[in-house]
Amino acid sequence: MRVHNFSAGPAAMPLDVLEQAASEMSDWGSSGMSVMEVSHRSKEFVAAAEEAEALLRELLAVPDDYRVLFLQGGATGQFAGIPLNLSAEGDTVDYVNTGAWSKKAIAEAKKYATVNVVADESASNYSTTPDPAAVRPSQGSAYLHYTPNETIGGVEFGYVPDTGDVPLVADMSSTILSRPIEVSKFGLIYGGAQKNMGPAGLCLVVVRDDLVGRARPQTPSVWDYRAMAEAGSMLNTPPTFGIYLLGLILRWLKGQGGLAAMGERNRAKAEKLYAAIDGSPFYRNPVSPDARSWMNVPFILADDSLDKTFLAQAAEAGLTNLAGHRSVGGMRASIYNAMPMEGVDALIDFMKEFERANG
């Protein structure tokens, strides 16, 4: 029996996608082989990668002057790849600090550039996003980086910062494909695949043409955007299974009505879960209502001595991976695209029942 998996990532995938992958696992497209066993340069695999890119462009409405790159090294690799590609030695780069993932991006960027933190939400213990007026790039900045959705804190921007001519760079690891976005507002969008895009091992970069071709000479070739763009992301062996599975997920997303329909579903799921948390003195979400994530919903129990019992009984009820990140404790329900409303309903029912028994 499949559980409702609330993991923050690697995260639940649509059952239809898993079943299709299973059905063609040993014989993909009548090749007599699995997709993992074919050459990445075969015309069949190249066609699958091209279809994945075309679907991604269609669903995200990626303008023609952006490159789509399928890389490795995760979003963490791009914490270095971004300053190496978009800034020169000695440049200043701007970062917004809204929590754990921002901090990691900042620490890595400091190895390569002078980091200016333009807004820092530590005073609210990272339960807020900055006032839009505060997110202004500094003079001569090479780019401004922010984390639209903080996976651990459950803090999400309700707006896209306006940085004028300074390229806006967004770590969309835990929010990409959750709703429509206007790609033209960004210079670069990136994210690890393992939440809304497939298995771990694939990292997506969508980058505007004018930002391609500026990599510092010491940039590893596999993260040099121009080298990768010119090679169709196949400078070396790409993560073939991840690209194939991304294609299946994008087909599924299109069948679900695309990102507008998915966004409405995600909004409804999140609203219902926050309403259940806010409606009870037994549970609490610490995030400011205007900054609450649709994807990652942290909550704490009024009595934290019940945490272990809550998690154990939830798992018994088929609701798994609800423990908050090890750095913060409490609970966290990650409700990405593949989590149906029934999963959220089952969690809310369980929470009410647990409160009745222990409140």
Residues belonging to the binding site for L-glutamate are: 41
Length of the chain: 359
Binding positions for ligand PMP, 112-151, rule CB under 6 A:
147, 151
Q: Is residue 155 a contact point for ligand PMP (CB under 6 A)?
A: no
Q: How far is the CB of 293 from ligand PMP (least distance, A)?
A: 10
Tokens of 307: 């945490």
Told to check if 239 binds ligand PMP by CB under 6 A, we report: no
**Which residue in the list 28, 94, 171, 224 is annotated as catalytic?**
171
Site string for ligand PMP, 162-191 (x = CB under 6 A): ---------x-xx-----------------
Task: Give the nearer residue to ligand PMP in terms of CB position, either 147 or 337.
Answer: 147
Catalytic status, residue 209: no
Nearest CA among 76, 50, 67, 113 for reference residue 246: 50
Report the nearest approach of ligand PMP to the CB of residue 74 (Å).
3
Q: Select which of 28, 101, 223, 294 is catalytic.
A: 101
Q: Which positions from 62 to 81 touch ligand PMP by CB under 6 A, shown as an x/- string?
A: ------------xxx-----
Task: Give the burial class of 218: count Cβ atoms within 10 A of its Cβ; 0-12 exposed, 13-18 middle, 19 or more buried.
Answer: exposed
- 294 a catalytic residue: no
Shortest Å, Cβ 156 to ligand PMP: 10
Q: Out of 28, 195, 223, 224, pick the active-site residue.
A: 195
Q: Cα separation of 344 and 354, whole Å?
A: 15
Task: State how far Cα 236 lies from the chain centre.
Answer: 24
Query: For the stretch 18-32, what's the b/e string if a residue is b when 16 or more beta carbons lie within 10 angstroms of its beta carbon?
Result: eeebeebeeebeeee
Q: What is the DSSP track for 325-357?
A: PTTT-SEEEE--TTS-HHHHHHHHHHHHHHHHH
Distance CA 300, CA 307 (A): 8
- Indicate if 272 belongs to the active site: no
Q: Which two tokens stand for residue 290?
A: 């205007």
Q: What is the DSSP letter of 236?
A: S
Instruction: Pick between residue 101 and residue 336 the one whose CB is nearest to ligand PMP.
Output: 101
Whole-angstrom distance, CA of residue 114 vs CA of residue 91? 6
Q: Determine, following the binding rule CB under 6 A, whether residue 98 of this chain makes contact with ligand PMP.
A: no
- Please tell me the distance from the alpha carbon of residue 117 to that of residue 12, in angstroms, as a whole number: 34
Residue of 14, 83, 192, 239 interacting with ligand PMP (CB under 6 A): 192
Q: Which residues are catalytic?
A: 101, 171, 195
The site for ligand PMP (CB under 6 A) is made up of: 9, 74-76, 101, 147, 151, 171, 173-174, 192
